[in-house]
Amino acid sequence: MTNATNVLPSYQRFVNGVPVPLFSRRSFRAKEKYLIVLVFLTFSAMCFGTFFFLPDLSSTGSAYNSVYQVYQKIQKAGPDLLLPAPPHGYSGSRDSHGPGGGVNVIHIGLERPNNAEDEDIHIIEDKQKLQAKIDEEYQQQKTLEKPDAAVESRSRVSSSVVAWSPNNRQEDIVQTVSSSPAIRVILPDGEDKDPVVRRRRDTVKKMMLHGWQQYVTYAWGKNELKPISKKEHVASIFGTTAMGATIVDALDTLYIMGLHEKFNQSRAWIAKNLDFDINSEVSLFETNIRFLGSLLSSYALTGDEIFKEKARQLGERMLPAFQTETGIPHSLINLHTGTSRNYGWASSGCSILSEIGTLHLEFAYLSDITGNPVFRSKVEHVRKVLKNLEKPKGLYPNYINPRTGKWGQHHMSLGGLGDSFYEYLLKAWIQSGKEDVEAREMYDEATAAVVKNMVKKSPSGLLYIMDLKFDRPEYKMGHLACFAGGMFSLGAKTKENEVTDKYMEIAAGLTNTCHESYDRSATKLGPEVFHFIEGNEARSLRSGERYYILRPETFESYFVMWRLTKDPKYREWGWEAVQALEKHCRVPGGFTGLLNVYLVDSPKDDVQQSFFFAETLKYLYLLFSDDNLISLDDWVFNSEAHVLPIKGKPFYRAEPIL
């Protein structure tokens, strides 16, 4: 049994033979007291600051950003109590991913070294540099529900940006992690040597800023803007849900124009708010070219994982549309339930040629970057079904029944309902690095049939592509078909053969006719449809065909023809269009379409279309840029003008197929 008198509590010790508590006041020196008080005050300040400034973690884009913002706010509450935080997203090694590696740490001891004064100076300088870096990065990454609409006169990029050039190897390109919106890769500036051309490009950029700022002010997060009413526009193609269509559609245009701050604001909105689990019916085609195309383009341009992840989520929600008897997808899909159907007006429930044939570029690239082959397999199956069908006169009708796999009514067109099917055959071949031989063969056969049966010349010598309905010609051409000048020239220049010169002549002729449709209007903007009958050429004959909704197709052909021929008239025609847009479509609240291009003071439609940013302004901006900005040797444009990389080029980021 232990003697109780010899057992002392753990908190006691003997002093001069007398037991005293272990933490008796007599045991502390003045410095020790000061240290304990300082530690206690620091801990209290941290707890108070954390509680007071703690944001709602559920509403932030990522846990890392949330913690980082908490740290900054605590630091502002008591900056002298804390060590400086490492720069947001900083990594000490190029091979490390995320914010965890290689950060320089400042160690502060309790004892002053011999060179204490010098050491203090260095610590202060280091803290000041780090604080400046923190402030700079915080300004880049902060996100508001409605970002500041201040004019950005010239793009600025932080010192962490790595400039890209064609000589960079793909593995050397620094990619943006999903937790950081900072730009990591920049494109060539693309400024032309001619000062007049540079001024014209700057005008287009200012148009982009004007339209964008009004959208941010009056419709941020909504699909589109009504620039006269200054409120949101609801378009049926996006269902009934606000999906930020303009934000997504404008992404790569903002990037290409060097508007990095606005790109980052859009990226932050997408990371936090873009959710495809919506119980609403949307157009499969429009969702593909606008949303999926833009997300893939932004991933190719930046390597930012958030865009790839959003693209994967959307692609998976689109797959149920392919669950038909033939694998031909439906036109409409509910992204929440997966149910799909076709338009009631589309030739007895048929799918539409341009819609089922305008998925290949996006789905093929999505398979390549995710390593999931299912997306590519779906669109390759669609192509095989179309290839194996018997085609009247070698032409593709605009309607096909997804249940029987047979053509609907024999209506053929390179305008609406047919247009981008032909475009994607050519561009799938280009995108593949010219390995997709089947796509090129189908394109050559299809365009040969179009040239033989649908390309006509008017009495005055204007070349155009007419529609056919049950072998009955319709002597008209739609604005949507004005892309064909660029398509024919791109097809001719990418594969030299015996018909190259002929197809370049067709390309030039079609582009000229579309320009004439603009030039023969009072506003110098082209109508939706123009005819070649009754002594009227390249003019609308019906009131419902005279509108202009900020369409890009004519400018697309100007751009491609300029890049491939260097004929200066295409830039002059483009400048005419810029002036017309500024004069007739610009309003204080943005840019609007016109109801009648033949009236100088035309009534306005009060819609700023999302494709005005994605296509119209992008093509005009590139028309006045040097060829090194989005080179046609490195990129293809999807039907919404979102840029997708060509296989084997530096930006073609791909994962192994599973």
- Could you say which of 261, 516, 528, 537 is catalytic? 528
Per DSSP bridges, beta strands 467-469 and 463-465 are: unpaired
Tell how far CA 628 is from the center of its chain.
Answer: 20
Residue whose tokens read 């789905």: 363
3-class DSSP state of 462: coil
Six-digit token string for 230: 């200054």
Q: Indicate if 390 belongs to the active site.
A: no
The CA distances from residue 474 to 232, 412, 413, 458, 470, in Å, are 37, 10, 10, 13, 10
Nearest one of 494, 499, 540 to 517, comparing CA atoms: 540
**Could you give the residue ranges of the DSSP H alpha helices within 220-336?**
245-249, 251-256, 260-273, 284-286, 293-302, 305-318
Contacts of 353 (CB under 8 A, 6+ apart): 396, 397, 398, 399, 400, 417, 418, 421
Q: CA quadruple 417, 531, 572, 524: dihedral positive or negative?
A: negative
Residues of 406-424 as b/e, b for ≥16 C-beta within 10 angstroms? ebbebbbbbbbbbbbbbbb
Contact call for residues 447 and 488 (beta carbons, < 8 A): yes
Residues of 443-480 as b/e, b for ≥16 C-beta within 10 angstroms? bbebbebbeebbbeebeeebbbbbbbeeeeeeebbbbb
Rounded distance, CA 257 to CA 262, Å? 10
Rounded distance, CA 145 to CA 572, Å? 40
Nearest one of 556, 465, 572, 460 to 510, comparing CA atoms: 465
Residue whose tokens read 């000061």: 34
Tell how far CA 556 is from the center of its chain.
Answer: 18
Rounded to the nearest 10 degrees, what angle do helices 260-273 and 116-141 cross at? 70
Per DSSP bridges, beta strands 18-21 and 635-637 are: unpaired
Rounded distance, CA 335 to CA 107, Å? 53
User: Which residue type occupies 90?
Assistant: Y
Contact call for residues 413 and 467 (beta carbons, < 8 A): yes
Contact call for residues 375 and 315 (beta carbons, < 8 A): yes
Six-digit token string for 575: 């400048």
**Residues with catalytic roles:** 528
